[in-house]
Amino acid sequence: MSNFHRRKAAQLLRSRQGREAMEELIGAKIQIVDGPKEHKDRPIVAVLVPCYHHPEPRMTDAYINMAAHSRSVCDIFPVKPVSSGVVHWSRNWLIAELIKSQQPWTHALFIDDDIVCPPDALIKMLAHKKDIVAGICTRRTDPPIPNIRVFDEKTGLYSERWSWPKDELIEVGAVGTGLMLISRHALEQVAEAYFQCLYEKEIYGIDEEHVSKLRNASLKFFDDNANAYWFRFLTCLNGDFEMGEDVSFCFMAKRYCDIPIYCDTSIQPGHVGQYVYSIADFLPHQEAAIRRAKAAQFAQKRAQEPKSDVAQGVISVMIPALEHPEKSIAQLKATASKPELLEILVNSEPLGYARMHEYYNEMAARSTGDWLMLWNDDAIMQEKGWDEKIRNSGSGLTIVNMTGQLNLFPVIHRSVYELLGHISLQTHSDTWLQVVGRECLIEKYVPIAIKHERTEIRKEYEKTSPQFFQETNVQLMMEDVKKVMAELEKEAVPVG
């Protein structure tokens, strides 16, 4: 038996101080049970509520309902809430207060002060008989981000998990502690891992002499304060960033205690903000979130590939000449490093401003270059060597942005055109390619100085119905996004 276990054997006495403190804080009588009842195999759940100021009224109402709903299967009592702006201090102090209260308990249930839990949440979590199980919450953002994580054994990093089976118990890499049930056994094991300095030994390689000193100091601190620092902000394995206290706890439990982390996807608490955020608010964004996650992984993979030498590819410059392109063409050639590798294409017949995409599609069909550059007859290139910058920007599925926030003159690799089968299917071809590039994370910013000598609005523009320019065929645009994503998925790492 470990030192930690021996200390706990003498701390199983009963008290009502915690419940009375909660009643005083929320201003309501909690009529659940008078105190923990000792029944064989009957769980005794201590409720721990870390507070910033005070629990949200909707949180306390939901907690009282859940507690009443759960009395048939367990005894439940609150520990005196702790208020602190540092959340992991609050969590550790709450566990320490529970230990010092000397009440019997089998589980600790963390409920954040802004979480609205379903009435049957605790019953469901206890029924799984797992050491660590949580509900699936979201951040208070738009869109709300789910709080479950995937752990990559190769990199030692956690990432968001965007999909999951409906109404099932699933194992996850980590999960937030907004609503989490933890067995006493799990807390004992994580405390033991802390006393043994298992994280410090792996990350920093400290020797046994220093481990012994740290262990003795930690044990003495625990004897005095009943605090084993279960929740900490730990650096991830590759040292790139600091994990949150909830992910750090899951990391310690899984890596050093071999305790799996579970989430019941049927338990979907609300998170009080401007309104009560929940998984239901995330679901409309789920498909886009999965798509962006896959694109991000592919972009990361491409960024790690060795850089190639400057390509010798031809750049096909496509100019829908509504007026006189001669000045613009001359400046393109004068500023190019290799003007002999420029293919200048001008529209073969006038179609009007409202059919601009047809200009580009027709010229793209005639082009032979490795890069296709959408240009205007009133644009003046001002940067020498611009063509070399484009050739050196990458290869494969790439859309170059030369102008910043708005990609006014996109340059696309031929592979993008061949995959889509067109440049654009609406007048605003630059916007079309900007959306595709940013949704799929294949847009690369290569700043190049360009002067755009915009003329007065053309007669064709004036004749065009304003409604035409307000309508963007989002469905067709997203079909192009899906085409690119399908191609990226062939090389991307699967996303959960």
Report the pLDDT value the prediction gives residue 452, as an integer from 0 to 100.
82
Decide: helix, strand or coil at residue 392: coil
Give the predicted TM-score (pTM) of the model: 0.65
Question: What is the pLDDT at residue 34?
Answer: 40
According to DSSP, the β-strands at 270-272 and 115-116 are: antiparallel
DSSP character at residue 41: T
- The two tokens of residue 91 are 């969590």
Which tokens in the block code for residue 411? 């340059």
CB 102 within 8 A of CB 42: no
Place of tokens 């940067």: 383
Distance CA 269, CA 111 (A): 10
**Encoded tokens for 6:** 């021996």
- How far apart CA 113 and CA 94 sit, in angstroms, is 13
**Per-residue confidence (pLDDT) for residue 10, from 0 to 100:** 34
Domain boundaries, the chain: 3-277, 315-489
Q: Which fold has domain 3-277?
A: Spore Coat Polysaccharide Biosynthesis Protein SpsA; Chain A (3.90.550)
What number of other Cβ atoms are within 10 A of residue 32's Cβ?
18
For 385, residues 6+ apart whose C-beta sits below 8 A from its C-beta are 335, 336, 337
Taking residue 286's Cβ as centre, other Cβ atoms within 10 Å add up to 15
Fold: same for 3-277 and 315-489: yes
As a whole number of angstroms, the distance between CA 262 and CA 128 comes to 9
- What pLDDT is recorded for position 454? 61
**CA pair distance 159, 173, nearest whole angstrom:** 9
CATH of 315-489, one of 1.10.1760, 3.90.550, 3.30.70, 3.40.630: 3.90.550
As a whole number of angstroms, the distance between CA 85 and CA 50 comes to 9
Q: Which residues of the chain have pLDDT under 70?
A: 1-40, 82, 295, 298-312, 322, 348, 350-351, 453-473, 491-496
Other Cβ atoms within 10 Å of 404 Cβ, number: 9
